Structures are given as structure tokens and as C-alpha cells.
Structure 1
Amino acid sequence: MKHTLLLLTALCANLGFAQTGKVIGTALTSETNPAEFAKVLALNPSDSSVLLGSFTDSDGKFELNDLKTGTILVKIILDDHLPKFVGNVEVQTDQTVFLGRIELEKDISIDLEEVIATGSLDDLKAGIDKKVYSVQRDISVRGGSANDVLNNIPSIDVDQDGNVSLRGDGNVTILIDGRPSALTSGNGQSLLDALPANSIDRIEVVTNPSAKYDPDGTSGIINIILKKNRKRGINGVISGTGATGNLYDASLGLSYRNKGTNLYLNYSFNYYEGYRNYFSDLTQQFGTDSSNYFDQNREGTDLKMSNTIVLGADFELDSNNTVGFSITGSLGTRERTGLLVNKLYDQNDDLFRSWTRSSFDPIQSQNGDFNLNHSLKLKNRNGKWSTNGTQSFSERDIKGFYDERLFSLDGLASYPGVEQELFNSSKNRITTIQTDFEYVFEKIKGRMEAGAKAIIRNDHVSTFSQRFDSLTNSFIPDTLSDFEYIYDEQVYSIYGIFGQILGKFSYQGGIRGELARQIPNLVSTGEKFNNSYLNLFPSAHVKYKPKKEVELSLSYSRRINRAKSHQLNPFASYADPFNIRRGNPALQPEYINSYDLGYSLTKNKVVFSTSVYHRRTVDVINRVKEYYSNNASAVTYANIDKSESTGLETIFIYKPAKWLRNTFSFNGNYINYTNTDTTVNWNNSGFNWGAKLAINIDFWKRTATLQLNGNYNAPRVTPQGIILPRSGMDISFEKQLLNRKLSIGARVTDVFNTRGFMIDLEQVGITQHAQYKWLTRRFYITASYRFGKQDIKVKNGASRSGGGDGM
């Protein structure tokens, strides 16, 4: 009995200590770079259940500790790569199994024209057809908006009104999660400043898209991808920002994910105070012996406040079917005040008229997107069929209160002038329905895609104005500014593309057919325009990859730029009677033939990507300025016969050490505008260029980062003049604490207070210099705290080592 008890005791003691071993290895990408943050799973070979999970570090290394003895299956998962399995791994007690270097294989099911990760160093994947910019590591946009993010991306610029240009061309299509949105197409007004930077995951830039994409946009497509949760369990982040000049920002992000459900919610509040000043000098010649000089100086305040929410969910119905929805909503308020001082001089520089115009312009806006989507994977996993529909809306109520005062020439006396009130309302609706099918032919390494899409848009704009009548001591209607305008647009399209990898070569060709109708309805005048267009848009891409680190590419696409609703609206805005804005309902669409030749080189510490491009455009839609003899001017739109643009874009990323990253980008092009209309002077040519530099320095064991951002835009040619040089520099710092859960940062934007906008315009008998300046130099303090659960669950429900699921 005694010996039996001793035996049982020894057996229990032995069972109390698990017999375990360890597996280590290094995962590499298809370009043999370290596969950072790849998910590594230890699976039970009999049922593929998860025994243990971990992630690779920045060098691609991983460890699976405390594995029970026996045979396991190791699975490695990395975005844009096929899952890698290592079978028959024998785990022995107190032994380490070395798997060595494991190279992953690129997933050929990715669209050939979208295989972009030829080079990737942290925050920028630089390829030939497409660049992907990650927002996560850019500390210079903490507390900023989508416009701040775009301004940091190579070859993208955002002007003082929020207008976005790509490679120097303002005709660019902006999408959110691959779809048109009310935030990007609200009557020509930029609403991206209502979208917080911390809700954005990445920016995709496609400069020569395939037939799969809508052909709109001369210079390409900018796709803003919003964040979605990739971690299991409940996770969240709360952030706050404060800046000089009364700028405040607060946001909250929450997410929940389990095996078949993904829920996410992001909310942000933004409060902004600043100023917007305008200065203009206009000289106008009348005949040979008469001229005058018109001087305008406006100083004013600018207040903006917005609330934005993003809510969504994805549900895996089974292993092949996934459905989801997302809702984006934004409420915004903006109030601008200003005092415009006007002085008119004759040819002898003698003042002969002086007056002021005070203004108060409050704006209320509501914007929303609602999306439903479904994805079906074919049983053989070689294909996918996806369908989604999006309904977007935007509503804006704009009011304007204006009061003019006339002054004597000595400035000692003043008299009442015009007192005016304007009331404008606009409603914008966009319905988008799209279905896409894709299939991969594994044996021939080919891929086929086809799809159909419908975009239905409706805009309704109405304005009512009234002025004060001193005789009746009341406001009476001012019909000069009253109008009602309705715009309808329908675009129906189908496409098909096929691509194939042939050893070191790959190609893709496609064509898109499109039927479009544009119907501007000038309700106030009874005029209605009905424009219909039936077009074919071919595309072709060829690539050659002589080595893993080298890639050559040649591509072509035909594109179109249709006039937007506000560009067709002929009714004038008289908020400033001497600076009128109106559209042109006679605008024709412009057609573009785009060519791109690219080269990309990737090394462990270097990514070099460069492209030579050429664009030929006919019936160019351009913003032009018309001048009148009473010193007033109007900004409108016109078709210029053609333009030719040839340019070079270069991105150079250099990481000499783990703690230092440098990103330099350059874009330059020679453009020539040609117009045969002798009544105007819209012929101009010149070389435009700009450069950006970002330097990131990590220290304190990579828990702190110092970032410097600088940019310079040389003088840029327009059909009527030259935009003068622009430059700026930002400095940012961030420190991570509490095991990287808490981040505290500081930054200074526009350190030297040089950002602004200046333009010189010249027409026959007319010269004008205009300057715009707004509050750009601020000091920011930012803080964010991350919380939640990031563990991978094992079969029995217990939590084992490892990070979030697919973060």
C-alpha cells in the first residue's frame, strides 16, 4: 500500500509539470523582406483547431512557446500573400525546433494592376500603378482632418478651399472605401475637413486606373479607406487634441470582433477657430489713355464645428458568404465674418471711390452615407462575386448678411449703402449600385473580372435674396440673385478585364462601356439641357520583373472628365458683387489619353519608384476669370481646346537604420494649353514642379518619434497666369507610454508661417495680383489611449500568448 501511494504521488507530480517545447523561425515576404506582423498559428493536424498564436516582430522572427509535445501544423498568414503551411513539426520536451527562413508566396488572385507592394517601408508602399499610404505612423496629422492627410502624400496638394489635385491636375476622383460619397461630391464644396484623420486607415492613389474603375478624373483616383477592426474581442481608442488659436478635437473608437462578427464605431468632434484674409490689386486699361486701379483688402474670422460618426458591421453567414453595412454621418456648422475694404483709383492714382462691405455667412450642413454589401466566395475559392449599394445625401443651408458703407474721399464721413440678405439651400443625393465578379485561372495564372455599375445623382439648389429699402423701411425681394436649379445625372457602365502572369511578364487588358446623361434644369428661366454620351474606355497594363527587386511597367488608359453640377449651374453668386461665381451649362466633357512608363527598385533599406507620364486632353474644363469694365470679375468655367502634359514622378524611401526613415518625393511636368478663340487669351505653357520631404527619427527604444515634414511648390502655370510658390514645414513629436497604450504628442504646423495662396493673372489690358492667407501656424498637444483585448483564443477557450487576430 505504501509503494502504491508513492507511485501515485510521483505520477501526479509528473502530470503537474507539462512537457513542452518551442518552435522558432523567420517569415519573409515574396520579395524576401522581413514579414513584419504576420500571424503565426500552431494548429492541431487532425482538425486544424488553434493551439497557440503569435505574431512576427519587425525582423520577421516569431516564437511559439510552451507547446505541448507532439506533431503540429504551423500556419503563417500575411496580407496580399498566400497562407503558408509547414507540416509535420515535431515538438519535443524542452527542445527548440528551428524552422529557419520561410518565404511566403504572393497571392496571384490580387488584381494584376493592383500588385503594388513592390516596395514597403513602414508607412508607404510605393509601386508603379498604385501607391498606398498608411496613416498610422504619420504623427503630423494627429488631431487633423482628411485634408491634412492628403497634403502629406506625394504628388497630392490641397488648396485653401479644400480642392484636391494629383500630379498638378485638379480633375481627380475621390472615393471613400471605393465608393462615391456625399463627403467628396457635395456641389463642388470640399467636406473632407469633416472627416477626422484618426478614422482613416490608408490612402490609395491610382494614377492610371484599369477599366475596372470609373473613368472619371483626368489625373486618377484617390481612395480613402476607413478603419475597420482586425483584433478579436473588445478594443478601443480615445483621443484628444488642443491647439493654439482655439482648436479642439476629441474622438472615440470602439470595436468588437469574434469568429463571425465584426462591429465598429468611430465618433469625433472638431472645433476650429481661425481667420481667412484676402488681398487683391487689379489694374484695368481702357483704350490708350485711361485706366484705373482697384484695391481690395478683406480680413475676417472663420469658425468651424463638426460631429462625425462611422458605424458598421460585417457578418460571416458561413465560410463563403459575408454581408455588411456601414453608416457615415456628419453634422457641421461654419460661421465666417469679414470686412472688405474697397478703394478705386484713377490713372493718376487719385482715389475717386471708397466703400466697405461687412459680411456674416453662417452655414449648416448634414452629410451621410449608408452602404449595404454582400460577398460570395466560390466553393473552389478561385472566384468571388460581390454586390454593394450606397445611398449618400448632403444638405447645406447657407445664409449671408451683407452691409455696405460708402465713404467720402477724405474718409471722415460715411453713408448707408446696400444692405442685403441671401438664403441658399442645396440638397445632393447619390445612389450607387455595383456588382463585380472575379475568377482566377490557377493553371495559367490568369485572372478575369467583369461587372456593372449604376450611379444616379440629383442636386437641387435654390437661392432667395432681399435688400433693405429705406423708403419702406423694410426688406424687399432682390430678384437679381434669386434662382432655382435642378441637376440630374445617370451613369450606367459595364466592364471586363483579363490579366495573366507569364514568368517574368504580366499583362492586363480591359474595356469599359458607359452611357451617361446630364440634365441641368434652370427652373427659374425654363431652360433645360439634355446631354447624353456613349463611350468606350480601354485600358492596358504590361509589367516585366527581371528580378524580385526590380519592376518595369507600361500602361495606357482613356478617361473622361464630365462637368460637375456646380460647374454647369449658370446662376451667379453675389455674396461679393465684385467677385462673382457662376457655372456654364454649355460645358462639354473633356477626354484624356493617359500613358505611364514606370520603374521600381526595392532593397532592404531602399525603395525607389519613378514614372514618366504623358497626358493629352481635348476640351479641357478649366476655371477661368472674366473681367468687366465696372471692375467686377466672375469666376466661371470654360472648355479650352486642348492641353499636353509630360511629367516625371519620383518617390525615394531610405531607411539606413531601424530608427531613421526618410521619404522624398518629386513631381514635375511641362504643360501647354492651346486655345484658338482669339477673343480671349487662354494660351500658356510652362514647367510646374513640387517636392516633399518627411524624416522620421525613433529613439528611446522606439517608444518616441520625431517627425519633420517639408514641402515646396514652385510657380505653377494656369491658362490665365501663374500661381506663385508655396512652401511650409511641420515638426511633430510623440512618446508612447504604458506599454504603448498611451501616446502623448506635440506638433507645430507651418513653423515659418509661409503657407498661403498667391496668384498673378494677366489678360489683354488687365493685370491682377491676389493673395489668400488663413491661420496655418498652430501648436498642438495630442493624447490617445488604447484599450482592449488582443488575444487569440485556443480551442478550449483559454487565452494563450499572441496578439490581436489579423491586426
Structure 2
Amino acid sequence: MKCLFFLSTLLCLALTVSASIPRIKGKVVEAGKSTPIDYADIILIEKGKIDPVSHTLPQTDGAFTLSDIKDGEYSLLVRAVGFDVYTRSGIVLNVSAPVLNLGTIEMQPLEHGLAEVEIVAQKRQVIYKLDKKVIDASNNLLASGGSAVDILENTPSVRVDAEGEVTFRGSNGFAVYVDGKPSVFSGSQALEQIPSGHIENIEIITTPSARHDTGGDVGIINIITKKHSQQGLNGMVNLTGSTMLSRGVDFLLTQQDKASRWYLGGGWNDRLRKSKFRQEKTTIVSDVTTISDSDGPRESNNFDYSLKAGWMYTLPRTTFNVDVQGGYGGRTRKGDLDYKEEQTKAGLPLGSGDYISHDDYDLHETYYQGTAGFAHKFNDKGHDLTGSYYLKYGGDAMEYFQSDLFNYQGERQQGHRAWEDEHRWTMRGNLDYIFPYRETGRIEGGYQYFSYLEDGDYSMQFWNPEKREFYWRDDIYNTFYFKYGIHSIYAIVADSYGSFDFQLGLRGEHTHRVLRSSKEWANRTYDKFEFFPSAHLGYNLPGGDKILASYSRRITRPELFFMEPYITYRDYYSAEIGNPDIRNEYINSYELNYKKNIGEHSLSASVFHRSRKDKIERLRVPYQAGVTLDSMANVGHDYSTGLEVSAQIQATRRWNVNLNGSYYHYKIENEYKTESGDETSNNYEITLNNSYDAGKNTRVQLDGNFVGPSVTTQGKTNSFWYVNLAVRQQLLNRKLNATLSFRDVFNSARYVSNISTANLKSVTHIRPNYPLITLSLSYTFNNFKAKSAQGKENHDLFEGTNH
């Protein structure tokens, strides 16, 4: 892996040596505010021709450079969503003026009484900046009517399995933020909660600075929701339905006055997944060998029904905001499987069974949450003070399991039911201060307190075949109380000297965690103060290219379900138990990024290395005849070293191609499989995205995806591939968008995982019921346009969470 870093460094140095020569430079800002605009398209066209000769995007401070331009006469076009188009002709380049400085280009907002100019062009699906990837939500047709999970599906190193679970660079330990603030939900559940129609874009930050929470071993996925800043009442509504009987409706209304803005939104979404499930399993318990086969359909539903509202009031230097939301959400899963088993001991048969297995899982919560905040600008040079307070209550929270075995006459043979009743409180308070000590330098600091509390009880019934009734298992009944609080302080210094940028940060966190249970042997208390450094170094190359090196130390703290000291059942033959002695994971992440624009094309490359101590993973062992037991354990150390490459090619004026690929070497120093030593795999994913404008109002998207195999602590997962197709038609003067999508057109996706230990062999096959056909309708009224964040603060050299 050192060789990979060495070769990648040589590649970056070679590109540096061959860096292009700048010919035109300037800066793009909003007129009247001098706020930098870093999302504009800057296009240079030679006189007498139609096709552009060069294309670029500004840096975070609005500055841009066009390079490798021959002498001649040109016209410049600058366009940005929400602004009038800027054009300038008569630009002459010759040997007497090798570098032409256009100065500051002021973009006029459309709402300032200007006639609206409509630009029809393809936006980039993924914008690669040096500190993050920015995924444009509106440009992914396959995400229409879906959630943030569907938007992320084509992102390099992101995998979505048959159950909708998301992993990034081989881990599901990412943190989810919404508009720069940590989400109260976690992982895939947080991503499923947000309708794609409410999302402007998604940022993936792989080496966050000390400003952010340290949770999330592979970084932060930051969801930027649509905000509206034009005057008057505006809105949109989205409808969706699919052949899987998924259905959803969501809406968003906004009213913008001069100083006041309010919004009202909501959604009703049922996202159904259907699949064919098969599991072949062999367990050895007390010299009894059980061979079982489970085969049949499964259906799941991730649902959310919610309303949200907010109000913002803006004074000349101070802004106040209040947001509230309430809803009911969760997920269900049902299975109807043919279950067969045979038992032997010393090669002699003990018995066999042939049953129908019904399992039912339901996890739901009624939640209420609110946020109040303020932002004060002492001046226009980035001297700011911000604060926020967040509170959430999750009541009526229930996790229910039911599993039964019936004979073919419909008579129950075995079964059990379990209830986990919970109440949850989450609180977070932040105060952040930024002081610019010179034009390019700043000092930043802040404090945060975070608290999470969950209490409840767990009860279970088993079926008595003789009395033909369920009875309570008093030995399993358990009460629990779980709370942890984190006090955090951080400091950051950042500056620029010539072509060199740096940002150094240090975060200190004190964690106090308490676990209490009816099983007193499992009671635990944890107190610890720790430091988490971060560093970002950047070098600006001629031609607007840039190299960035970054480092961040992260942590994964055990959640309650990692530690619950009692047995639960997901189905009749799959039990699980927590581990109260589970330890924190500690992660060191390193990354080297390079990005180069070549006319309207771009090439991005990222080299990364992640080392993780005390990796937390779910392990499976035989428990009873035919029944396995899952538990969380610190399985050892693991390492990921790899390369991500993205090429964005404007093949023709109407055809845009995105080729994304990632390759990384993964190694587990396994403490639980000593007979075979360490496990390694070479993991890779390739995504080819084609977007074609078939007409003025018609766009077609065709994706091809290949996901390579991977290893786990106890086994491996197989490779798979699939192809998606979508067509969008705009109607009613583009106020109505109709999108028809086909997922897994060739029904080729197969999810296969293998577990192999001395006393357990298990192979699980999941085949989704594809192709999945979805129709989505989106209607906007009164000129609703989610303009990009033109008011974004520009104090952050390396991260883009200020929107």
C-alpha cells in the first residue's frame, strides 16, 4: 500500500510539473453584496465559433482562472442559478498581454427587477472539490420520488444493499448532517427520512475538521435542503408510485418578504422493498449438526409521515431562526419462508422438520423536535458569532419481533414474540465564534454539549406446544437505562500565504456514559477526556488546479443496541445479544486529492488511507440447534487504502458522461479467526452514468454499476452488477416534471454473503424483485426555484457546510 501512495504522489507531482499556463483570471461575486459565488459556470467561446474552448468553476472565494488559451478574440459567458447571465465580448489575448485580469464580475440576482433569462444546460451530477464531493440532487433522475439513499447510489465507494443499508468505503459508520448540523437519526435511517424532492445537494466530507463532531469513522454525509430566497409565495409538490406499491407525497411552501421568511413542508412516504430470500445454514452445537434451508419472499417498508415548519427573521447584522418538526416513522419487515431442517449426531439422524416460517418485525417512533438559533455578523469580514439549541423527544417508540413455525396444516408448532418499549431524549447546544485576524487568516473556536437518554423495558413470550398458548419468560424480562453526555471544545487556525493554504484544528471531548439494567452484572459507567486533531494543507497550482492533503482523527462510540445485555430474536432461527464491554473504535484518516479541469471536462483523483483500532463488527455463532446468535465485538484492527477516480466528459453538447471508479485494499487483523489469520480483499466499484438531452424538455439517463467482492471478519460478500434507466419529460412550461425510472433493467442484482467458521457455515442469498418501475410527478408554482446558497459564509477554506 505504501507503493500505491508513492505512485499516486508521483502522479500528482507529474501533473504539477505539467500544469497549464493561466491566460485569463477574475472573480465572481453577487452584485451589491460582494459575496463570492463558487457554483457559477464560466465558459469561454472563440469568436466565430459555437462550441466552448474552455470551461471552469470558481474557487470558494469566487476566483477563477482559464488556462492554455491561444491568442485570439473571445467572448466570456458566466451563468449561475438565480442570477442574470453575464456576457462579455471583445476579449483579446496576444503576446503583449500574456495574462488578462478581468477583475471582479458582479452577478445580478434575477429577483431585482431584471427580466428572467432561462438557461437550458446540463449540470454536473457530481462536483469534485478538494475537500468534498458535492452530489447534485436534481440531476439524478433515478432519485425522483426517493430519498437521500437514492441520490447517493451512484457515488464512488457508496454501496446500497438489498435492504437499503448504505456503506461508504466499506463502512456504515458515517455521520449524517442536515444543513451543517448533526442529524438526530443515524446511518441509513437518517438518509431514508429525507425525501429527495427536498434536497438541493449532498456533500460528502471524508476528513472533517475539528469544528465537527468526531463520530463517523468514514466522515460526514451532509444533506443540504432546498431553501428559497426570492420574494413572494412559492411552492412545490411531489408524487410518486411504483410497481412495488411504494407511494409517497411531499410538499414545500415558502413565503419570503424583505426581512422575514417562513416555510411549511411535509411528507407521507412508504418505501417498499420486496425480495426473494434464501439461507442455507449448518450449525454444530454439542456435537449435534443441524442443516437448515429457509426459502421464500420478504417485504420491507421504510416509512415516514411528518410535518415541519420554520421561520427566519433577518436584521442588518443578525439573523434569528426557529424550526419545528413532528412525525411518525420507522421500518417494518415481513417474511413467509419454507423452513426445512435435519439434525444428526455422530452421523446418525436425530430428526427432521418441514415448516412454514412467518416472521414480523416492526420498529417505529413518534417524534417531536425543534431548533432555535441565531447568527450575528460583527462586520462583513467574517467576524461572526452563531449559536443554536436543539431538542428532540421520541415517544411511543417500539421495537416488536414476532416469529412462528407452522406445519402445512396451519397449526403453530413454535413461536415467540418480543416487545422493546423505549423513550428517547436528545439535546444539543452550540456556540461558535470566528475572528479574522487578517484578510486571509482567521481563528475559530466553539463549545458544544450533547446529551442522549434512552430508557425502557424488554419483554418476551414463548409458545407452549402442549398448552397451545404463549407464556411470559420472566427470566428474559429486562429494564434498561442508557445515557451519555459529551462536552466539546475546539479551536482552529487557518490562513493563506501565496499559493499555500493551511487549516489546523484541535477538538477536546469529555464523554460520560451510563448503562443500567435489571441484569446488574451488565451495569457500566464510562468517563474519559480525549483530543482529536485535524489538519488540512492546500497548494494552488497555476491554471486554477489544486492539491490538498488532509488528516482527521475520528471515533465510533457504542450505541445502546451494541450493549443490550439480553437476547432478542429477529426471526425463529436468528437471535442477537449486546455486549456491555464493547469498546470505542478509533480511526485515523488520511487523504490526498487532486482535481484538474480540461476545457469542459474534468478529472479528479483521491488517494486515501484509513486505519481503525478495535473495529466493531457483528459476529455470528451457533446458539441452539438450528439457531444462531449475533453479538457485537471488537474484532481487531482493519486498514483501507485506495484510490478514487472520476472523469466527467462532455462528449457532445447534449451528451454528458460520468465515469466513477474506486479501488481499495482492505485488510482485517482478525482476533476471532486465528485458524486463517488476517483477511484481505481488493474492493472495487465502477459506475458509468450517461445523461442525454433528447429534446428541449426531455432527458434520458442510463447508468451501469458493478460492485466487486469484499471480505468480512467471518466471510465474504460476492460481486454484483445492475443497470438503471430513467426518462424525464418537462411539461407546462417546465412547471411539471414527469420521471419514469426502471431499476435493475436486466434483473441482474444478486446479494450473496458467506459466513464460514469451525462450527457455522451460512450462505445468504437476496434477490430483489426487479425491475422496479417508478413514476414520479413534481409540480412547482409561483416560480419556485431552490437557488444555491449565495449568502454562504466564506470563512472556511476546506469545508462547505455553511449554507
TM-score for the superposition, normalised by structure 2? 0.80
Distance 2:159 2:601 in 1: 25
1:323 and 2:338 correspond? no
| Contact 1:181–1:430 (Cα < 8 Å) also in 2 | no
Amino acid at match of 2:144: R
Quote the offset at 1:661 in angstroms.
1.7
In structure 2, the CA distance between the partners of 1:665 and 1:658, relative to structure 1 (3 Å rule), is: same
Matches within 5 A, 1:238-249: 238-249=237-248
In structure 2, the CA distance between the partners of 1:372 and 1:604, relative to structure 1 (3 Å rule), is: farther
SS in 2 for 1:509: strand
**Alignment counterpart, residue 337 of structure 2, candidates 337, 340, 346:** 340
Matches within 5 A, 1:443-458: 443=439, 445-458=440-453
Amino acid at match of 1:197: S
| Contact 1:33–1:604 (Cα < 8 Å) also in 2 | no
**Alignment counterpart, residue 699 of structure 2, candidates 658, 680, 705:** 705
Amino acid at match of 1:435: L
Distance 1:299 1:446 in 2: 60
Quote the offset at 1:319 in angstroms.
0.9
In structure 2, the CA distance between the partners of 1:595 and 1:806, relative to structure 1 (3 Å rule), is: closer
Distance 2:58 2:497 in 1: 24
Distance 2:329 2:63 in 1: 45
Residue-by-residue CA offset, 1:327-356 (whole Å, 9 max, x unaligned):
233323655432233222356797723333
| Contact 1:182–1:394 (Cα < 8 Å) also in 2 | no
Quote the offset at 1:292 in angstroms.
4.3
In structure 2, the CA distance between the partners of 1:33 and 1:226, relative to structure 1 (3 Å rule), is: farther
**Alignment counterpart, residue 511 of structure 1, candidates 506, 510, 514:** 506
Quote the offset at 1:730 in angstroms.
1.4
2:710 aligned partner: 716
Quote the offset at 1:379 in angstroms.
3.0
SS in 2 for 1:567: helix
Amino acid at match of 2:567: A
Distance 2:176 2:412 in 1: 46
| Contact 1:35–1:56 (Cα < 8 Å) also in 2 | no
Residue-by-residue CA offset, 1:50-91 (whole Å, 9 max, x unaligned):
xxxxx9998599xxxxxxxxxxxxxxx99954699xxxxxxx
Distance 1:238 1:732 in 2: 20
Amino acid at match of 1:405: F
1:308 aligned partner: 306
Which segment drifts farther, 216-225 or 770-779? 770-779
Distance 1:647 1:803 in 2: 32
Residue-by-residue CA offset, 1:546-571 (whole Å, 9 max, x unaligned):
22332112111221111122111222
Quote the offset at 1:384 in angstroms.
0.8
2:50 aligned partner: none
Residue-by-residue CA offset, 1:707-737 (whole Å, 9 max, x unaligned):
1122221001111111111322211111222
2:404 aligned partner: 403
Identity over the aligned pairs, expressed in percent?
23
1:639 and 2:634 correspond? yes
In structure 2, the CA distance between the partners of 1:393 and 1:725, relative to structure 1 (3 Å rule), is: farther
In structure 2, the CA distance between the partners of 1:679 and 1:788, relative to structure 1 (3 Å rule), is: same
Which segment drifts farther, 253-262 or 766-775? 766-775
1:491 and 2:489 correspond? no
Distance 2:297 2:388 in 1: 47
Quote the offset at 1:195 in angstroms.
2.1
Structure 2 stretches of 5 or more lacking a match? 1-21, 46-56, 65-85, 92-101, 108-121, 793-803
Quote the offset at 1:677 in angstroms.
5.5
Amino acid at match of 1:345: E
1:424 and 2:420 correspond? yes
Distance 2:679 2:788 in 1: 58
| Contact 1:325–1:373 (Cα < 8 Å) also in 2 | yes
Quote the offset at 1:488 in angstroms.
0.6
Residue-by-residue CA offset, 1:662-710 (whole Å, 9 max, x unaligned):
2221122112111345778673111111122221111323x22111122
SS in 2 for 1:190: helix
Amino acid at match of 1:431: M
Which segment drifts farther, 98-107 or 419-428? 98-107
Amino acid at match of 1:398: E
Which segment drifts farther, 510-519 or 768-777? 768-777
Matches within 5 A, 1:29-44: none
Pairs aligned (count): 706
2:10 aligned partner: none
1:476 aligned partner: 471
Quote the offset at 1:604 in angstroms.
3.0
1:358 and 2:355 correspond? no
| Contact 2:484–2:511 (Cα < 8 Å) also in 1 | yes
Quote the offset at 1:363 in angstroms.
4.5
Quote the offset at 1:577 in angstroms.
3.7
Quote the offset at 1:124 in angstroms.
2.4
In structure 2, the CA distance between the partners of 1:150 and 1:363, relative to structure 1 (3 Å rule), is: same
In structure 2, the CA distance between the partners of 1:713 and 1:97, relative to structure 1 (3 Å rule), is: closer
Amino acid at match of 2:622: Y
Matches within 5 A, 1:34-433: 80-81=60-61, 102=102, 104=104, 122-184=124-186, 190-284=189-283, 291-303=289-301, 305-316=303-314, 318-332=315-329, 335-346=332-343, 352-379=352-379, 381-395=381-395, 396-406=397-407, 416-433=412-429
Distance 2:673 2:372 in 1: 52
SS in 2 for 1:751: coil
| Contact 1:541–1:555 (Cα < 8 Å) also in 2 | yes
| Contact 2:522–2:565 (Cα < 8 Å) also in 1 | no
Amino acid at match of 1:321: T
In structure 2, the CA distance between the partners of 1:580 and 1:193, relative to structure 1 (3 Å rule), is: same
Residue-by-residue CA offset, 1:282-318 (whole Å, 9 max, x unaligned):
234689x9854221224234455432323222111x2
Structure 1 stretches of 5 or more lacking a match? 1-29, 49-54, 62-76, 85-95, 108-119, 408-412, 792-801
TM-score for the superposition, normalised by structure 1? 0.80
Amino acid at match of 2:374: H
Distance 2:789 2:531 in 1: 46
Quote the offset at 1:422 in angstroms.
2.5
1:598 aligned partner: 593
SS in 2 for 1:657: coil
| Contact 1:384–1:437 (Cα < 8 Å) also in 2 | yes
SS in 2 for 1:773: strand
Distance 2:568 2:257 in 1: 53
Quote the offset at 1:513 in angstroms.
0.8
Distance 1:775 1:203 in 2: 28
| Contact 2:283–2:625 (Cα < 8 Å) also in 1 | no
Distance 2:190 2:504 in 1: 35
| Contact 1:171–1:217 (Cα < 8 Å) also in 2 | yes
In structure 2, the CA distance between the partners of 1:290 and 1:518, relative to structure 1 (3 Å rule), is: closer
In structure 2, the CA distance between the partners of 1:334 and 1:488, relative to structure 1 (3 Å rule), is: closer
Amino acid at match of 2:359: S
SS in 1 for 2:568: coil
| Contact 1:232–1:790 (Cα < 8 Å) also in 2 | no
Residue-by-residue CA offset, 1:617-647 (whole Å, 9 max, x unaligned):
2111122212246232122211123122211
| Contact 1:790–1:804 (Cα < 8 Å) also in 2 | no
| Contact 2:284–2:625 (Cα < 8 Å) also in 1 | no
SS in 1 for 2:197: helix
Distance 2:615 2:490 in 1: 26
Quote the offset at 1:529 in angstroms.
0.3
In structure 2, the CA distance between the partners of 1:706 and 1:481, relative to structure 1 (3 Å rule), is: farther
1:729 and 2:723 correspond? yes
| Contact 1:578–1:632 (Cα < 8 Å) also in 2 | yes
Amino acid at match of 2:217: T
Distance 1:194 1:97 in 2: 42
SS in 2 for 1:147: helix
Which segment drifts farther, 121-130 or 556-565? 121-130
Amino acid at match of 1:271: D
